[in-house]
Structure formats: structure tokens, C-alpha cells
């Protein structure tokens, strides 16, 4: 059986857990909440890229993504950044 590898474990959670070739990431948020939704989305997606690289994978292998917005009016601006980041033909299921 494969070993579980934890990335940045803390007292309550790990940033990610890797097991059997799969990575499970904790919720990702931007560092600078003063930026607009485009800036916050870029930060968050950059953090995801970094975490996936540390786990030995990349965004083309993401199976599913859940995005939470505090204001639905930010949906179009968030999607614009997402669309520039996502790899065509390799997009995950998304909610």
C-alpha cells in the first residue's frame, strides 16, 4: 500500500494530502483580499499551480474544482481569469 504524503501539515489540516497518485487540496484563498476579483483569482490559481507542482502534478490533471464567490456579480470577471489559466481540452468538472 502507498504511503500518504502530507504537504504543509498543521494542527487542523494539511494544505494537501497525496495518496495513490491523487492529490486532495484544502480550500485555496488569495493572500491579498484588497485586490479585485481578477487579482484574487490570479493569486488563488497561482497558489494552486504551486501546490500542484509540489505534489508532482499540474492543472491538466485536475478532476474537479469548486469555486465559491461572495458576490455572483464577480462571476464573469473570475471566469475571464479562469479561462486564461485553464488548458483547452483539459478543463475539470466545475461547480
pLDDT digits (tens, 9 = 90+) for 7-49: 999 999 999 999 988 999 999 999 999 999 999 999 999 999 9
pLDDT of residue 71: 96
Residues 49-53: what's their mean pLDDT?
95
Half-sphere exposure of 10 (CA within 13 A, CB side): 6
pLDDT of 21:
84
For the chain, helix, strand, coil in percent to 5 are 35, 20, 45
Question: pTM to 2 decimals?
Answer: 0.89
In the predicted structure, residue 2 carries a pLDDT above the cut 70: no
As a whole-number percent, the residues of the chain with pLDDT over 70 amount to: 98
Amino acid at each position: 500500500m502507498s504511503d500518504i504524503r502530507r504537504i504543509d501539515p498543521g494542527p487542523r489540516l494539511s494544505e494537501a494530502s497525496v495518496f495513490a497518485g491523487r492529490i486532495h487540496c484544502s480550500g485555496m484563498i488569495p493572500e491579498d483580499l484588497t485586490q479585485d476579483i481578477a487579482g484574487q483569482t490570479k493569486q488563488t490559481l497561482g497558489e494552486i499551480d504551486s501546490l500542484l507542482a509540489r505534489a508532482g502534478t499540474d492543472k491538466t490533471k485536475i478532476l474537479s474544482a469548486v469555486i465559491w464567490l461572495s458576490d455572483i456579480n464577480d462571476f464573469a470577471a473570475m471566469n475571464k481569469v479562469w479561462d486564461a489559466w485553464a488548458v483547452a481540452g483539459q478543463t475539470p468538472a466545475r461547480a
